[in-house]
Amino acid sequence: MFHVKHFDVVVIGGGHAGAEAAAAAVRMGARTALISMRKDRIGVMSCNPAIGGLGKGHLVREVDALDGIMGLAADAAGIQFRLLNRRKGPAVQGPRTQADRKLYRQAIQVLLARTAGLEIIEGEVVDLIDGPNGSVSGVALLDGTQVTAAAVVLTAGTFLNGIIHVGDQHRSGGREGDVASERLAHKLAGLGLKRGRLKTGTPPRLDGKTIVWEGLDVQPADDEPVMLSFLNKAPQVRQVSCGITHTNERTHDIVRANLGRSAMYGGHIEGVGPRYCPSIEDKVVRFADKTGHQIFLEPEGLDDDTVYPNGISTSLPADVQYEYVRSIKGLENVTILQPGYAIEYDFFDPSALRPTLESTLTGLYFAGQINGTTGYEEAAAQGLVAGANAAAAALGLAPVLFSRTDSYIGVMLDDLISRGVTEPYRMFTSRAEYRLHLRADNADQRMTGLGLAAGLVGEARAKIYTDKMAKIGAANAVLSTQTYSPQELQAAGIGVSRDGAARSLLQVLAFADTHWSQIDQLEPQMLGFDTDTKAQVWRDALYAQYLHREKADADTLRRNEMMRIPVELDFANLPGLSNELAAKLQRRRPSNLSEAERIEGMTPAALLLVLAHCRKANLARAVGQ
C-alpha cells in the first residue's frame, strides 16, 4: 500500500555515520527518520571490533563533546581500554577500546531508541524524490512508501554497488550478510556527480577455541583505563587481554605463491584500497624485506569465541587463507569461521561538498565512506556534521561550521573538500597544524561550547561541562594569583634557575619534575580540588608554553604560501620527508607552497620542511648572484 510520511530530516543508513547523523538532527530539534534495510543491523561494527586510537580517538572525543553517541556506546561495550602513546605527550595520545560487537550494537540501538523525536523505518531506499530547482525533497522505498523531508542525509557506507571479492569469486553485497544498494546507486549515477570506486578489506574470522594461546604474547588492558566519553570514569563490563602473534617467512611464501589468485593482484578489483591498513598481500609485496608482521588476536565479545586477527586482511581464496593462517604460530590448527574478503564500492568526490557536507544538490548531504573516508570514527564525525547541518537547514537555523583551528573534525572536512581523495582517507594527528592544541583530553573544552551555541548539547552534558569548566577556571585563578621568587620555589623543592624572575604556580606547573605535592605546599587552596581537575590544569599548563610557537609555524606557512619552489628541488632526497609525500611531490611538481599544500596527504610538518629547503635554495641563489 502506498504511504507518504513527512519529516524534517531523513537519514539513510544505520551505520556509524547514520546513527550519529540521526541523533544529531534530533538534538537540533528536527523530526527525524532513520531508514535502514534491517533494524537489527543498526550499529553493527562491520570490520574491526575497536573504537578510537591515534587521531581516531580525537574524533571520538570531539563527537562526544558535542553530545554524540559513539563514545557512550564504546564505553558501554569496551572490553579492553588502552591509551595509545601513553608514554608520550597528551597531544599524541589516543584513547582506544576493544569492543564487544554485540554490546556495541545493542548500546547504539538503545541510545537511538531513547531518542525522542526519532523514528526508525526498516526498508530499502531505491530513489530520491526530486524537489524544485534540482533539489532533493525526500526518498522512495522499495515498497512504494515515500518519505518526504526538507533535507536528506545519505550514509551508504560500502553498500553503493558493493561487490564482495574472495579470490576470483565475487558477489553483490554491502558487507557480509547484507545486500548491496544497487537501485539507489543507479539513481545517484544519473545525477551528474563525480564518482569513483574504492575498496577495503577484512581478515578471516577465527574460532578462538582452536587457537593455541599458550606461548603467545599477551596484551592486557590498561591498569588505569581512559574512557572514550567524558561522561564515564570506568569500564562497565569485564576486561580481557588480546593475544599477539606474527607472520613468518613461510606465511609470506604462501602469499607470494598465490598473489595471482588474490582479487586485488589478480586484476578483479579496480577500486583503490587504504594505504594505511594494507592487506597481507600488500604487506608481503610492499615490505618484502620484512620477515614477519605483527598480528593482534582480538576477541570479538565476552560470550563470543570469534577472534579478529588484526593485521592479515585479505582477498585471497578461502583455501589459501587456510594455508597461510595455519602457518602462523598458535594458529596451526585454527578453524576459520568466515573467510576474509575485499569489498569494492562507489564513492563521490568530496571536493564538490560544502563545509556543511551538503552536496551540489540542495537538501542532499553525504557522510561517511561515500565521501572517500575509511573508519568508524571518521564516519561518525561526518555523520554528526551532516545531521546537524541538515537539521539546521530544515529548521532555518545557522549552519554548524568547523575550522582546522578548533577541531580534528575541521581538519578532516577541510582536507576532504580542499584536496579530494584518490585513496581512502584516514585521520592522523600529523594532519593538524594545531595538534598541540587539538588534544583528545581537551575536546570538551574546545567543542562543547560550540555545541551549546548550536543547540547540539543537552542539559545533562551541559551541566557536567559547566561544572568542570568552573572548577578548572577556579584552579587556574588560584595558581595565577600570586608569584614566587626562585628562592621560594627552590625551598619547596621545585627546580628553577636563580634568574630573579618571579613566576606563578601555573607557569611552574609546566616545569619538568614538578609535583602537585610541591604546588599544594605553596598554595594549600589546591588541596580542595579533585584529581581530575588538577590533571586537566596540568595538561593545559604543559602545552600553554608551546602554543604560540605552533601558531607561529602555521602563520609562517600562510605568509609564505606563494613562495616559489625551485624546479630543480629533488624531493626524493629531502631528509625527513616521507617516501609517500616525496613521491607525490615529485609527480605533481608544485610551483609554490600553496599548490603543495593541496596535495592529498600533505602535512604541516612536511610543508615546513619544504619551506626550509626553499629558503635555503633562495639564499644560495642570492649569494651566488
Taking residues 525-536, report their average pLDDT. Answer: 95
57 inside domain:
yes
- CA 354/CA 386 separation, integer angstroms: 10
* Whether residue 45 is found in the same domain as residue 121: yes
Taking residues 495-500, report their average pLDDT. Answer: 83
Last residue of a domain, one of 291, 310, 341: 341
Contact between 198 and 345 (Cβ < 8 Å): yes
**Lookup result for grid cell 539546521:** 392
Here the cell at position 341 is: 574478503
553 inside domain:
no
- CA 391/CA 263 separation, integer angstroms: 41
What pLDDT digit, counting tens, does each position of 265-296 carry?
777 787 777 777 889 999 999 899 999 999 99
What is the value of pTM for the model shown? 0.93
- CA 460/CA 569 separation, integer angstroms: 56
* Number of DSSP helices (H) and strands (E) in the chain, helices first: 19, 22
Instruction: Give all strands (DSSP E) within 315-401, no chain letters.
Output: 336-338, 341-348, 364-366
Average pLDDT, the chain: 93
Contact between 369 and 393 (Cβ < 8 Å): no
**Lookup result for grid cell 609485496:** 285
Map residue 76 onto helix, strand or coil: helix
- What are the strands of the beta sheet with 294-301, ordered from one edge? 217-219, 242-246, 294-301, 304-310, 205-207, 336-338
Q: What is the pLDDT of residue 269?
A: 80
Taking 50 as the threshold, does the pLDDT of residue 231 lie above it?
yes
Contact between 439 and 555 (Cβ < 8 Å): no
* Domain CATH code at residue 222: 2.40.30.260
593 inside domain:
yes
pLDDT confidence bin for 545, thresholds 50/70/90: confident
Here the cell at position 310 is: 588484526
Residue 192's CB is within 10 A of a number of other CB atoms, namely 10
What pLDDT digit, counting tens, does each position of 310-369 carry?
999 999 999 999 999 999 999 999 999 999 999 999 999 999 999 999 999 999 999 999
Last residue of a domain, one of 454, 469, 489: 454
* Domain CATH code at residue 86: 3.50.50.60
Of the candidates 530, 544, 538, the one whose C-alpha atom is nearest the C-alpha of residue 467 is 530
Of the candidates 142, 216, 231, the one whose C-alpha atom is nearest the C-alpha of residue 182 is 142
- CA 56/CA 552 separation, integer angstroms: 26
Map residue 196 onto helix, strand or coil: strand
Which residues share a beta bridge with 35?
A: 12, 121
Tell me whether residue 474 is exposed, middle or buried, using C-beta atoms within 10 angstroms of its C-beta: 0 to 12, 13 to 18, 19 or more: middle
Residue 558's alpha-carbon distances to 29, 327, 407, in angstroms, are 39, 53, 19
* Whether residue 131 is found in the same domain as residue 192: yes
Q: What is the pLDDT of residue 526?
A: 94
- CA 26/CA 614 separation, integer angstroms: 50
Contact between 575 and 451 (Cβ < 8 Å): no
* Whether residue 324 is found in the same domain as residue 450: no
pLDDT confidence bin for 568, thresholds 50/70/90: confident
- CA 622/CA 164 separation, integer angstroms: 59
Q: What is the pLDDT of residue 622?
A: 59
Number of domains in the chain: 4
Taking 70 as the threshold, does the pLDDT of residue 2 lie above it?
no
459 inside domain:
no
Taking 60 as the threshold, does the pLDDT of residue 624 lie above it?
no
Q: Containing domain of residue 190, as a range?
A: 4-201+345-454
For 513, left (φ over 0), alpha (ψ -120 to 50), or beta? left
Pairing state of beta strands 125-130 and 336-338?
unpaired
* Whether residue 73 is found in the same domain as residue 190: yes
* Whether residue 575 is found in the same domain as residue 619: yes
For 560-603, where are the alpha helices, taking DSSP H only? 579-588, 593-597
- CA 71/CA 230 separation, integer angstroms: 8
* Whether residue 307 is found in the same domain as residue 402: no
187 inside domain:
yes
- Choice among 95-109, 379-393, 468-482, 598-612 with the minimum mean pLDDT: 598-612
- CA 322/CA 336 separation, integer angstroms: 7
- CA 368/CA 450 separation, integer angstroms: 22
* Whether residue 535 is found in the same domain as residue 594: no
* Whether residue 499 is found in the same domain as residue 575: no
Of the candidates 125, 137, 32, the one whose C-alpha atom is nearest the C-alpha of residue 361 is 137
Contact between 96 and 57 (Cβ < 8 Å): yes
- CA 147/CA 138 separation, integer angstroms: 5
For 278-317, where are the alpha helices, taking DSSP H only? 280-286
Q: What is the pLDDT of residue 296?
A: 97
* Whether residue 537 is found in the same domain as residue 570: no
Taking 80 as the threshold, does the pLDDT of residue 245 lie above it?
yes
318 inside domain:
yes
Per-residue DSSP letter, 91: G
* Whether residue 332 is found in the same domain as residue 349: no
- CA 231/CA 61 separation, integer angstroms: 11
Sign, Cα dihedral of 471, 476, 481, 486: positive
* Whether residue 506 is found in the same domain as residue 596: no
What pLDDT digit, counting tens, does each position of 88-125 carry?
989 999 999 999 999 999 999 999 999 999 999 999 99
* Domain CATH code at residue 617: 1.10.150.570
Q: What is the pLDDT of residue 420?
A: 93
619 inside domain:
yes
What pLDDT digit, counting tens, does each position of 152-183 carry?
999 998 889 999 999 889 899 988 888 988 99
Residue 330's CB is within 10 A of a number of other CB atoms, namely 20
199 membership: H or E segment, kind and range = strand 195-202
Last residue of a domain, one of 277, 307, 341: 341
φ and ψ at residue 335, rounded to 5 degrees: -100, 130
pLDDT confidence bin for 620, thresholds 50/70/90: low
* Whether residue 487 is found in the same domain as residue 572: no
pLDDT confidence bin for 1, thresholds 50/70/90: very low
Map residue 361 onto helix, strand or coil: coil
- CA 569/CA 364 separation, integer angstroms: 44
Pairing state of beta strands 118-122 and 32-36?
parallel
CA atoms within 13 A on the CB side of 451: 27
170 inside domain:
yes
pLDDT confidence bin for 623, thresholds 50/70/90: low
